[in-house]
Amino acid sequence: MRRAPVRRATVAAATAVGLAVVAAACGSDDAESNSAGGVTTLTFAASTFGDPGRGPQLQEWVDDFNASQDEIRVEAASVPYPTFGQTILTQMGGGEGPDLVRFDMPEFESASAAGLLAPLDDLVDVSQYELLEQPDQFMVHDGVRHGIIFEASNYAMFYNRDLIPDPPTTYDEFFATAQSVTDGDVFGLAFRQTEAEEAGVWQDIFNYVYGFGGAWSDGENLTINSPENLEGLQAYQDLYDANVIPRGADAATFRRMFAEGKVGMEINNGGYATHLASESPDLNFDVAPIPFPENRPGAILAPIVINESSESQEEAATFIRWALEPENQVSLQELLGASSVATPTERSESSLDEMPYLPTFDELTSSSLPHVVLGFEDQTPEIRRIVVQNVIAALQGNVDLQTALDNAQQEASDLVG
């Protein structure tokens, strides 16, 4: 699948909350302060550093790089997750910010569209590496590489084996299983369905749209109200109407319910598997592919990029090249858990013993898709808001689903011009 051209836009003016967090650590605004005693210090901003479980392990991985170098040192730039994207984008828009950034896709697209990312083609010779083709295609814009996959976390179906010994393999079985498990305060399924969790609803309905053969666009034109999209979202609404989910519960609530054995199934990404395994070690859960007609799940893609304003781009590229070495890819995947990295790796026996469902996630990398509207990547947040508002209006009975999608198609088309 060829990557559709990105529509260029500038990054909108944003809040400066938290700017001081990375400003002092930034190496791009003062070359002299960026090196001392012949050692170039790079700053690397990644929300993963703040993860209680994976953060310390990521720091150890970075420390391994530092131990391998005489002239380069990488230091973590600590930025709180809720303000991470906006803080870094604002810094970069002002010609400052960290040298290296691990972005989520929406911020990656915004930064790329605004010309804030250093082209990597002359810095990293990717022909030397066996990059995973499906996620890697989204790292290239108009023929120019702007990122390397740092983490790809695919969506799959989690199920409680005490409630569901055999996972459903078709949508009809999925629906019937959700109905049979629902009883009293136990629900067969859970997903987000409130406007307050807009981004999460978008991630959830993405799996229904693409899993039923739909798409938000054809790469050039929006296709929000296509028959395939209607079919997928009708399946989503049918489950809502069947009262097999805890209506009104936010993600934090129904995930706690899943951990307590009060929810039979939910669709989530590989990062959730790592969390469940550590926080609920006695939970008897497993993972299977989403049982929809087409195997096209969503994925959380997180690229690593180089700040265009960095005065140490070659040194930053040295870190990326080190990260792509086979042994370092293996160790990165080990610490990330149920996620893929940029290249194919082999899971260790100990990891497979601890998390036997890892191959399920790994096999999905060849078909998973990021939560962006192809051809309109940098406008995805605005399109997302329009779609989610209209879909939830249909869930709440304010309008029929076809009309809701027609309205979303018109509003989004007016937005993108």
Is residue 148 situated within a structural domain? yes
In a domain, 6, yes or no: no
Question: Could you tell me if 265 and 381 lie in one domain?
Answer: yes
178 and 106, same domain (yes or no): no
106 found inside a domain: yes
Share of the chain above pLDDT 70, in %: 91
- Regarding whether 405 and 259 lie in a shared domain, the answer is yes
Strands 144-145 and 140-141: antiparallel
Look up residue 27 and give its DSSP letter.
Answer: S
28 Cβ partners below 8 Å, 6+ apart? 34, 95, 96, 97, 99, 307, 309, 310, 311, 312
Q: Single out the residue of 156, 178, 296, 197 nearest to residue 235, CA to CA.
A: 178
- Residue 338: which of 275, 403, 417 has the closest Cα? 275
pLDDT, tens digit, 9 for 90 and up, residues 105-155: 989 999 999 999 999 999 999 999 999 999 999 999 999 999 999 999 999
What integer pLDDT is reported at residue 25 of this predicted model?
43
How distant is the alpha carbon of residue 201 from its chain centre? 14
CB-neighbour burial class of residue 3 (10 A; exposed 0-12, middle 13-18, buried 19+): middle
Mean pLDDT score of the chain: 91
Check whether residue 224 and residue 359 sit in a common domain: no
Helix axes 105-113, 84-93, angle to 10 degrees: 10
Beta bridge pairs of residue 303? 149
328 in the same domain as 257: no
Say yes or no: 35 and 80 in one domain. Answer: yes
Q: Are residues 183 and 272 in the same domain?
A: yes
Q: Does residue 277 sit within a domain? A: yes
Residue ending a domain, choose from 351, 370, 389: 370
pLDDT in tens, the chain (417 residues): 333 333 333 333 333 333 334 443 444 444 334 555 689 999 999 998 988 888 999 999 999 999 999 999 999 997 887 788 889 999 999 999 999 999 999 899 999 999 999 999 999 999 999 999 999 999 999 999 999 999 999 999 999 999 999 999 999 999 999 999 999 999 999 999 999 999 899 999 999 999 999 999 999 999 999 999 999 999 999 999 999 999 999 999 999 999 999 999 999 999 899 889 888 999 999 999 999 999 999 999 999 999 999 999 999 999 999 999 999 999 999 999 999 999 999 999 999 999 999 999 999 999 999 999 999 998 998 999 999 999 999 999 999 999 999 999 999 999 999
Q: Same domain, yes or no, for 389 and 333? A: no
Would you say 45 and 79 are in contact if contact means Cβ atoms under 8 Å apart? yes
364 SS3 class:
helix
Buried b (16+ CB within 10 A) or exposed e, 365-390: bebbbbbbbbbbbbbbbebbbbbbbb
* Distances from the Cα of 217 to the Cα of 4, 59, 70, 191, angstroms: 10, 39, 48, 24
Can you give the pLDDT at residue 36?
55
| 2 in any annotated domain | no
* 377 and 234 together in one domain: yes
Query: Tens of pLDDT along 155-175?
Result: 999 999 999 999 999 999 999
Distance CA 34, CA 20 (A): 17
Q: What is the pLDDT of residues 176-223, one digit of tens each?
A: 999 999 999 999 999 999 999 998 999 999 999 999 999 999 999 999
Buried b (16+ CB within 10 A) or exposed e, 235-263: bbbebbeeebbbeebebeebbebbbeebb
What phi and psi, each to the nearest 5 degrees, are found at residue 6?
Answer: -90, 140
Contact by Cβ (8 Å): 300, 368: no
Do the domain assignments include residue 12? no
User: Residue 243 belongs to what domain range?
Assistant: 155-297+372-416
Query: Do 361 and 267 touch, CB atoms closer than 8 A?
Result: no
Residues 257 and 349 occupy one common structural domain: no
Shared domain for 211 and 263, answered yes or no, is yes
Burial degree of 225 (CB within 10 A; 0-12, 13-18, 19+): buried
CATH number at residue 362: 3.40.190.10
Indicate the residue type of 140: V
Domain-located, residue 183: yes
> Is the same domain home to 119 and 159?
no
Q: Are 139 and 147 in contact (CB under 8 A)?
A: yes
**What is the reported pLDDT for 197?**
92
Domains identified in the chain, total number: 2
- Asked whether residue 11 is assigned to any structural domain, the reply reads no
Contact call for residues 38 and 144 (beta carbons, < 8 A): no
pLDDT at position 38, please?
87
